[in-house]
Amino acid sequence: MLVDTRRRGLIRLTWTMVWGLALGGLLTKLCELFLPESAARDFLVISVEGSIGPLSLDLVAAAFTVGPISVTLNVLTLVGISIVALIVRSWI
């Protein structure tokens, strides 16, 4: 059976990033709720945000605008991506 491993790897990478970002966001919210004010909490919760957009596509019959699309990264987001990557690597 011939399988396109490049396409499968791209799909796996995409889902790993999506689930890792979701897990990192969940970890960030939990730390904001349960950790007391401290330097460790500030280190874990402070984030950097990058955004693109808005992107517009104007056709004759319809016009579409998407955006802005933004990604917020912090330490816990990277931890979430790492956890999901380890699970995916060992499981699939």
The enclosing H or E element of 21 equals helix 5-34
- Taking the whole predicted model, whether its pTM rises above 0.85 is answered as no
β-sheet bridge partners, residue 71: 50
> How is the chain split into domains, by residue range?
5-91
The answer to whether the beta carbons of residues 81 and 17 sit under 8 Å apart is yes
pLDDT in tens, the chain (92 residues): 556 667 778 888 999 999 999 999 999 999 999 999 999 999 999 999 988 888 888 888 888 888 888 888 999 999 999 999 999 988 76
φ/ψ bin of 64: left (φ > 0), alpha (ψ from -120 to 50), beta (otherwise): beta
Strands 55-58 vs 48-52: parallel, antiparallel or unpaired: unpaired
The enclosing H or E element of 75 equals helix 75-91
